[in-house]
């Protein structure tokens, strides 16, 4: 079975002739393979972005709709801070008032009024504990404190004007 | 492509939000409606707490009650809860109609930090330096302006002194353009003209929109009372820690305790008792008597034939503009009171305590023979009298 293998190659060449455009076909196939593959997860990631966005949006809206969860504490703290400041100011003004007022009936009447306002305040404070987001209750609390402070300031101003008259009157005599 | 898609999604989300902010959805529901037959002796007792009430004349002899809830951009899932908080009871027993608002004290939620801060900032009120004379018409215009509903946010921003006027305007406009989720509840009550009305309210807004002749006994503790013209000699209006804005009161008694703001267009045939209050009165007509402790009064006008104004005051500040129509005689009696006439101190001889001497006597120059009398009994008071401007130079 000895044979010259060179003759075999000669026969192969005769059987399979290369097409004329084999070069360009090869180049086209090569080009096609070099294109990036289409990612099958593109739409999935888009949907995920949409879901995450909607979830965040919904949660933010829901948190807004439940202010008690994230608002109660700051409001209570704020009101307590304001209350402490007012009470300190009220005490200062009261001491100043009893120093300059020489009318015992006036002092007694103001004491009665301040006690009434204090009793009202305690009642409103109980409501505030139950419903700390109610602006009308907060308003009532602050107005109560303001009233106490303001009536003390007003009466002292009034007495000062009256006393100025006294000094002026005495000077003219 | 991927980036383009992301941008599109973001634009879509943003546009939804912008759309949601600009569109206002309002839905009104009648939650309670009832009518009662009445006769000449029927009375009504109404009790409110944290309520908003509008009262009108009835078109017939029936007493009508209607309670509505108005949802503004309010989420559907929460409407049921809002409805459930409403609890109204009414009945007619022994010819007396009773109406009680037992609803939970539930004004719409409120968590605008700036508004809270505004509420807490109210004490920074600017000090008034002078009062300018106002005609009767100007006072009525102010009353009508004060009656217009203002949002709480606007009210607090307006009263906060830490903002400039332009900042306030900008903040209020921004707030008005913002979408709010809220609900508003309101009574509309229609009352026959013969029915006697007793109203007890706490932290409520009561509006009587029309001129009425009914006998009214009103006790308002906190809140605001807006009245038009009320005419009845048996009226009793008690205002405590509340605001009173009224066009005209003819007849009856008015009692004010710590009313920081009372504006009355006209007073006639009224006994007014006040303490710790601030009042502005447009016109004093016939038969008015005032008793006061530590309030501030500002009186602009007197009717031509007011005949007499009697004031009994202690530690009060009385600011009044002289009558422009007809002759008058203004006299002050008492002790230890400082008088300013046309913004100048007038020295009067007065005892420091317990005296009741005549201190000041002013007469109109145009004397047509008939003088109306302004008589002020005062102890430890400040009285300022002027024609056009009252300055506080003291």
**Mean of the pLDDT values across residues B44-56?**
93
Question: Is pLDDT at B111 greater than 50 in this prediction?
Answer: no
Backbone angles phi, psi at B172, to 5 degrees: -70, -40
Question: Is pLDDT at A64 greater than 60 in this prediction?
Answer: no
Domain assignment present for residue B65? The answer is yes
* Interatomic CA distance for residues A113 and A108, integer angstroms: 9
Domain assignment present for residue B216? The answer is yes
Q: Is B326 helix (H, G, I), strand (E, B) or coil?
A: coil
Best of B3, B258, B344 to disrupt the A interface by mutation (most A CBs within 10 Å)? B258
* Interatomic CA distance for residues A94 and A57, integer angstroms: 52
What is the β-pairing status of strands B389-391 and B130-132? antiparallel
pLDDT band at B376 (very low <50, low <70, confident <90, very high): very high
A143 contact residues in B (CB cutoff 8 A) = 122, 241, 260
Contact A129, B353 (CB under 8 A): no
Indicate the DSSP class of residue B147: H
* Interatomic CA distance for residues B123 and B352, integer angstroms: 34
Looking at the fold, whether B195 and B213 belong to one and the same domain comes out as no
- The closest CB to that of B394, out of A54, A144, A161, belongs to A161
**Which of B269-278, B329-338, B347-356 is least confident?**
B347-356
Beta bridge partners of B237: B218, B254
**Mean of the pLDDT values across residues A3-15?**
62
* Interatomic CA distance for residues A159 and B318, integer angstroms: 15
Looking at the fold, whether B349 and B240 belong to one and the same domain comes out as yes
Contact B151, B173 (CB under 8 A): no
Question: Is pLDDT at B156 greater than 60 in this prediction?
Answer: yes
Q: Quote the pLDDT of residue B193.
A: 93
Q: Is B111 helix (H, G, I), strand (E, B) or coil?
A: coil
Contact B358, B346 (CB under 8 A): no
List, for residues A119-144, the tens digit of each pLDDT value.
999 998 988 887 777 777 788 888 89
Closest-CA residue of B relative to A54 is B13
Specify the number of domains making up chain B: 3
Contact B211, B60 (CB under 8 A): no
Indicate the DSSP class of residue B126: P
Q: Quote the pLDDT of residue B109.
A: 44
Indicate the DSSP class of residue B273: E
Q: Quote the pLDDT of residue B95.
A: 96
Domain that holds residue B84: 28-104+183-207
Q: Quote the pLDDT of residue B245.
A: 96
Least Cα distance to B304 among B387, B384, B371 occurs for B371
Q: Quote the pLDDT of residue A63.
A: 55
Question: How near does any CA of chain A get to the CA of B68, in Å?
Answer: 21
Looking at the fold, whether B162 and B287 belong to one and the same domain comes out as no
The tokens 């997860």 sit on which residue? A41
What are the structure tokens assigned to B316, written together? Answer: 């009060």
Looking at the fold, whether B275 and B153 belong to one and the same domain comes out as no
The enclosing H or E element of B205 equals strand B196-208
Q: How many CB atoms lie within 10 A of CB B119?
A: 24
Question: Is pLDDT at A167 greater than 60 in this prediction?
Answer: no
Contact B219, B88 (CB under 8 A): no
Looking at the fold, whether B167 and B219 belong to one and the same domain comes out as no
Q: In sequence order, which residues have a C-beta less than 8 Å from that of residue B235 and are 6 or more positions away?
A: B215, B216, B217, B218, B249, B251, B252, B253
Contact B246, B227 (CB under 8 A): yes
Q: How many CB atoms lie within 10 A of CB B266?
A: 22
Q: Quote the pLDDT of residue B51.
A: 87
- pLDDT mean across residues, chain A: 78
Domain assignment present for residue B144? The answer is yes
- The closest CB to that of A138, out of B17, B119, B382, belongs to B119
Q: In sequence order, which residues have a C-beta less than 8 Å from that of residue A164 and are 6 or more positions away?
A: B338, B394
Looking at the fold, whether B202 and B160 belong to one and the same domain comes out as no
Q: Quote the pLDDT of residue B128.
A: 74
Q: In sequence order, which residues have a C-beta less than 8 Å from that of residue B361 and are 6 or more positions away?
A: B329, B330, B331
* Interatomic CA distance for residues B310 and B331, integer angstroms: 10
Looking at the fold, whether B356 and B375 belong to one and the same domain comes out as yes
Looking at the fold, whether B215 and B92 belong to one and the same domain comes out as no
Terminus-to-terminus CA distance in chain A, angstroms? 159
Q: Quote the pLDDT of residue B351.
A: 61
Q: Is the dihedral of CA A35, A36, A39, A40 positive or negative?
A: positive
- pLDDT mean across residues, chain B: 86
Q: Is B206 helix (H, G, I), strand (E, B) or coil?
A: strand
* Interatomic CA distance for residues A131 and B105, integer angstroms: 9
Q: In sequence order, which residues have a C-beta less than 8 Å from that of residue B278 and are 6 or more positions away?
A: B259, B260, B261, B262, B295, B296
Highest mean pLDDT, choosing among A11-25, A65-79, B104-118: A11-25
Q: Do residue B116 and residue A65 have CB atoms under 8 angstroms apart?
A: no
Looking at the fold, whether B280 and B371 belong to one and the same domain comes out as yes
The length of chain A is: 173
* Interatomic CA distance for residues B202 and B188, integer angstroms: 17
A82 contact residues in B (CB cutoff 8 A) = 120
Question: How near does any CA of chain A get to the CA of B62, in Å?
Answer: 33
Q: Quote the pLDDT of residue A101.
A: 94
Looking at the fold, whether B190 and B213 belong to one and the same domain comes out as no
Question: Is pLDDT at B357 greater than 60 in this prediction?
Answer: yes
Burial class (CB in 10 A: 0-12, 13-18, 19+), B4: exposed
Q: Is the dihedral of CA B102, B218, B156, A80 positive or negative?
A: negative
Looking at the fold, whether B241 and B314 belong to one and the same domain comes out as yes
What percent of chain B has pLDDT above 90?
57
Q: Quote the pLDDT of residue A69.
A: 44
Contact B112, B178 (CB under 8 A): no
Contact B238, B220 (CB under 8 A): yes
Q: Do residue B5 and residue A46 have CB atoms under 8 angstroms apart?
A: yes
Domain assignment present for residue B228? The answer is yes
* Interatomic CA distance for residues B297 and A43, integer angstroms: 75
Domain assignment present for residue B20? The answer is no
Terminus-to-terminus CA distance in chain B, angstroms? 78
> What ipTM was assigned to the predicted interfaces of this complex?
0.81
pLDDT band at A22 (very low <50, low <70, confident <90, very high): confident
Looking at the fold, whether B224 and B172 belong to one and the same domain comes out as no
Question: How near does any CA of chain B get to the CA of A14, in Å?
Answer: 51
Q: Is the dihedral of CA A161, A114, B217, B212 positive or negative?
A: positive
B116 reaches A (C-beta below 8 A): yes
Q: In sequence order, which residues have a C-beta less than 8 Å from that of residue A45 and are 6 or more positions away?
A: none
């Amino acid at each position: 079975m000895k044979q010259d293998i060179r003759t075999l190659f000669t026969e192969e060449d005769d059987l399979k002739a290369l097409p004329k455009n084999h070069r360009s076909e090869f180049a086209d196939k090569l080009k096609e393979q070099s294109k990036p593959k289409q990612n099958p997860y593109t739409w999935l990631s888009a949907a995920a972005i949409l879901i995450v966005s909607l979830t965040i949006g919904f949660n933010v809206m829901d948190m807004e709709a439940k202010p008690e969860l994230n608002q109660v504490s700051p409001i209570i703290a704020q009101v307590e801070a304001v209350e402490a400041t007012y009470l300190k100011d009220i005490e200062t003004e009261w001491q100043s008032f009893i120093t300059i007022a020489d009318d015992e009936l006036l002092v007694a009447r103001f004491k009665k009024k301040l006690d009434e306002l204090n009793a009202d305040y305690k009642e409103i404070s109980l409501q505030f504990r139950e419903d700390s987001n109610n602006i009308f209750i907060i308003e009532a609390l602050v107005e109560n404190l303001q009233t106490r402070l303001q009536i003390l300031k007003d009466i002292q101003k009034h007495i000062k004007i009256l006393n100025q008259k006294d000094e002026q009157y005495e000077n003219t005599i | 492509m991927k980036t383009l898609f992301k941008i599109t999604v973001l634009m879509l989300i943003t546009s939804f939000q912008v759309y949601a902010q600009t569109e206002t959805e309002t839905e009104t529901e009648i939650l309670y409606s009832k009518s009662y037959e009445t006769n000449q002796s029927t009375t009504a007792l109404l009790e409110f707490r944290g309520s908003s009430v509008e009262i009108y004349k009835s078109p017939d002899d029936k007493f009508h009650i209607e309670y509505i809830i108005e949802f503004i951009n309010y989420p559907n899932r929460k409407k049921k809860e809002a409805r459930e908080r409403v609890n109204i009871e009414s009945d007619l027993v022994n010819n007396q109609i009773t109406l009680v608002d037992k609803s939970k004290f539930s004004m719409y939620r409120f968590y605008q930090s700036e508004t809270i801060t505004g509420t807490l900032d109210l004490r920074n009120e600017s000090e008034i330096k002078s009062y300018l004379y106002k005609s009767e018409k100007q006072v009525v215009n102010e009353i009508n302006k004060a009656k217009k509903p203002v949002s709480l946010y606007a009210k607090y921003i307006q009263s906060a002194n830490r903002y400039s006027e332009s900042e306030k305007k900008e903040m209020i406009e921004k707030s008005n353009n913002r979408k709010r989720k809220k609900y508003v509840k309101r009574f509309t009550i229609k009352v026959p003209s013969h029915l006697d009305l007793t109203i007890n309210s706490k932290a409520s807004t009561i509006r009587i929109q029309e001129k009425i002749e009914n006998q009214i006994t009103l006790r308002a503790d906190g809140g605001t009372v807006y009245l038009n013209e009320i005419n009845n000699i048996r009226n009793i209006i008690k205002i405590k820690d509340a605001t009173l804005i009224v066009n005209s009161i003819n007849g009856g008694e008015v009692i004010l305790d710590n009313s920081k703001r009372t504006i009355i267009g006209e007073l006639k045939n009224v006994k007014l008792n006040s303490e710790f209050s601030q009042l502005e009165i447009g016109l004093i007509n016939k038969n008015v008597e005032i008793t006061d402790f530590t309030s501030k009064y500002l009186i602009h006008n007197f009717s031509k034939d007011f005949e007499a104004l009697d004031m009994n005051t202690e530690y009060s500040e009385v600011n009044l503009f002289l009558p422009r129509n007809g002759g008058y005689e203004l006299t002050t009696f008492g002790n230890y009171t400082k008088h300013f006439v046309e913004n100048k101190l007038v020295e009067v001889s007065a005892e420091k305590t317990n005296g009741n001497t005549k201190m000041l006597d002013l007469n109109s120059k145009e004397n047509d023979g008939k003088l109306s009398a302004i008589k002020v009994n005062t102890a430890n008071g400040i009285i300022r009298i002027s024609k056009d401007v009252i300055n506080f130079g003291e």
